[in-house]
Amino acid sequence: MHTLQVKERPSGQVRELRRDGFVPGVVYGPSIDSTPIAIGRRDLMSLFSGITRSSVINLKIDGEGDAREFDVFLKVVDYDPITDEPLHVDFYHPDTESPLKLQVPVKIVGDCKGVKGGGILNVLFNTIRVHGLARDVPPLITLDVTDLDMGEGIRVGDVDFGGTEPMLPPERTIVTVIAPRGLLVEDEEAEGEEGELAEGEEPSGEDAAGGEEAAAEEE
Domain boundary among 97, 131, 149: 97
- Tens digit of pLDDT per residue, the chain (219 long)? 799 999 999 887 888 999 999 999 999 999 999 999 999 999 999 999 999 989 999 999 997 767 899 999 999 999 999 999 999 999 999 998 999 999 999 999 999 999 999 999 999 999 999 999 999 999 999 999 999 999 999 999 999 999 999 999 999 999 999 998 765 545 555 555 555 544 455 555 444 444 444 444 444
Residues 91 and 51 in one domain: yes
Q: Tell me the longest C-alpha to C-alpha distance in the chain.
A: 107
Distance between CA atoms of 80 and 197, rounded to whole angstroms?
Answer: 68
**What distance in Å separates the CA atoms of residue 41 and residue 86, rounded to the nearest whole number?**
8
Query: Would residue 133 count as lying in a domain?
Result: yes
- Based on the structure, what is the number of domains in the chain? 2
DSSP string, 70-82: EEEEEEEEEE-TT
In a domain, 214, yes or no: no
Could you read off the pLDDT of 163-185 as tens digits, one per residue? Answer: 999 999 999 999 999 998 765 54
Residues 119 and 77 in one domain: no
For residues 45 and 79, membership in a common domain is answered with yes
Residue 150, domain extent: 101-181
Whether residues 176 and 109 share a domain: the answer is yes
Q: Are residues 117 and 160 in the same domain?
A: yes
Q: What DSSP character marks residue 197? A: P
CA 201 to chain centre: 55
**Are residues 11 and 55 part of one domain?**
yes
Note whether 132 and 58 are same-domain residues: no
Q: List Cα–Cα distances, 81 to 12, 22, 23, 84, 158, in angstroms.
A: 21, 18, 16, 6, 40
Examine the fold and report which residue of 76, 97, 118 is the final residue of a domain before the chain moves on.
Answer: 97
Distance from C-alpha of 69 to C-alpha of 32, rounded to nearest angstrom: 11
Count CB neighbours of 192 within 10 A: 9
Q: What is the pLDDT of residues 120-140, one digit of tens each?
A: 999 999 999 999 999 999 999
